[in-house]
Structure formats: C-alpha cells, structure tokens
Structure 1
Amino acid sequence: MAAELDLGAVDCFLVGFPPGALLDGGALTQMAALVDAGVIEVLDALVIRKDDDGSISGVNLAEMGGAVAFTGVRPGLPGDDDLAIAAEEMSAGSVAVFVLYENTWARGFVTAVHERGGVFPGSGRIGTDDLLAAIEAAGD
C-alpha cells in the first residue's frame, strides 16, 4: 500500500517566532533551497498567528504564493487539530509555521523496504533544541 505512493519518509515540524522576531523570508529561502536540491519536498505548510487577544488564525502557505514548490499531495493536511495544538505552545503576538514534508532522499530506501515486505512500525525524531541542550549538559 505505502509503496504505491512512492513517498520517502514524511516528517513535520513546527517553527515558532516570538513577537518581534525577524520575519524576512530567510528561513523560507533555505527551505526552498532544500526543495530545489531534491532533499525534501514540501507537502503542505500552515502559517499560524496568535493575536494579542489569544485568537488564532491560519493560512496555507501555498495560498500565500510562497517561494516553496508544493506537490499538492494532500493540501490542507494540517487541520484545526494541528492549529489548536500549535496554539497551546504559542505566546500572544507570535507566529508559527507547521510544515509537512517528504524526505525525498529516502524514496529509494523506503520503496526497497516495501518491495521486500518490510514495514516501518515506528519512527521518532529528537527536537533540535532538546538535542542541543542535552549535548550542552553532557559537556558540563
């Protein structure tokens, strides 16, 4: 079943920008470079804003005419539940971006595993900030 989609590993991340953070498109440019290099393919992305009164709004990045190419595999995958979860972590006046992406470098590996009857019963990811904190703590 999964091999029919011909997808590599799919991941997501949430990036938060506190009030006053520099939103100049630099991070988006770097993500676009990963897309252009064939390392990832952005499947969907949602820009989320938490207003000073605590209200939440979100817009799909593809609707904003962003610089990143989208496959449109399933636009709208980040839904209201994702918006609510992200909002819990956000402070008033902040912006966050939820990105769903395929690790295209893994396509061949994933396909080979599936063709041989293998499955991926689970995977995990360690948050960058958590890993950096652990490395720093280990050095103390």
Structure 2
Amino acid sequence: MSAPEATTTATGLDEMGPVDYLVIEMPADRMTGRGLDLLLDLVDRGIIRVIDLEIVSTGTDGSITRLELDDLDGEPSVELSVFAGARSGLLDDEDVAAAGGVLEPGTVGVVLLYENLWAAPLARELRRNGAQLVAGGRIPVQALLAALDAAEA
C-alpha cells in the first residue's frame, strides 16, 4: 500500500478536490489501529488523499496530549508507519486542542484531514468556470436512520 502524501504547491491547490476533516472518538483501551487498513484502501484506490492524521488522548482532568502511532496498544491491523508522514502542518496545536475539546475525557481521538480526490475533476472544472463552494455539511448516519424511522411511523 502506498504512503499518503500531501499536495502543497499553488498549482496543486488549483487542482485539488474538496478537503474534509473528521474527529473520531474511541475508548482509550481499544485504540489498536483497526480500520486503518480501510483508510489505506481508500488512498490506494485514489478516492482520498490523507493530508494530516493526528492522534490525541484526553485525560480525565481534561488535558489533551498528542500521541504517536507507536503509542497505540495491541496488534494493529496494518503497518501503521505508512501514516507517519501524514503531517502537512495544516493542523496546528490550536486545531488539535479544538479537536480534543470535543472528545469525552479519558478517550482517544483520531483527527483526519483528507482531500476528496474523486471530486477533484468536478471541483477543478467548476473553479475554472468561476463557481465556488459556499456551503457544505455532513448528515450523521444516526440522524438519517432516525429520520427514516420517523418517516415510516
């Protein structure tokens, strides 16, 4: 599997697809790296490009600590060193602190900043024609399921 890499040139920025972020919360005692093989699959298939991947731990006292991939417990499902270079510098200490602030105390979070490569050709063409993205959002699966249940009732 290939290593994630960030696009940094001005020309590269003109060619980029939309960039999203996720903050994923996990129980601290179950942070093994499982599921990262699926993330690598998305990278290998050219669907996304990982720009930044940070791991943060929240103490019961509210403290926030950056973790390294080597700090993960258990048997990881993939060789995690491939993510070691996934740091563009776009996520600074303030961003990591903000991400840690949405986590429950005593948990571990993964902060993922990624480019949607699948949408890059559309985004590039729209920009060339003067269009720009003015709003975006994400609907949590739980909200979709609740809405579907309510519609069926």
1:122 to 114, 135, 138: 135
The answer as to 2:31 corresponding to 1:23 is yes
| Residue number in structure 1 paired with 2:55 | 47
CA 1:135–1:127 in structure 2 vs 1: closer, same or farther (change >3 Å)?
Answer: same
The answer as to 2:82 corresponding to 1:67 is yes
Query: Gaps (5+ residues) in structure 2?
Result: 1-9, 73-79
2 CA distance for matches of 1:30 and 1:70? Answer: 18
For normalisation by structure 1, the TM-score amounts to 0.78
CA 1:106–1:71 in structure 2 vs 1: closer, same or farther (change >3 Å)?
Answer: farther
The answer as to 2:91 corresponding to 1:78 is yes
Asked if the contact 1:47–1:60 (Cα under 8 Å) also holds between the matched residues in 2, the reply is yes
CA 1:104–1:18 in structure 2 vs 1: closer, same or farther (change >3 Å)?
Answer: same
Asked if the contact 2:53–2:86 (Cα under 8 Å) also holds between the matched residues in 1, the reply is no
For normalisation by structure 2, the TM-score amounts to 0.72
Q: Counterpart of 2:106 in 1: which secondary structure?
A: coil
1:103 to 116, 129, 142: 116
1 CA distance for matches of 2:68 and 2:51? Answer: 11
Deviation, structure 1 residue 28: 1.1
Aligned Cα RMSD in Å? 2.6
More displaced 10-residue stretch of structure 1: 80-89 or 30-39 = 80-89
More displaced 10-residue stretch of structure 1: 95-104 or 76-85 = 76-85
Q: Counterpart of 2:35 in 1: which secondary structure?
A: helix
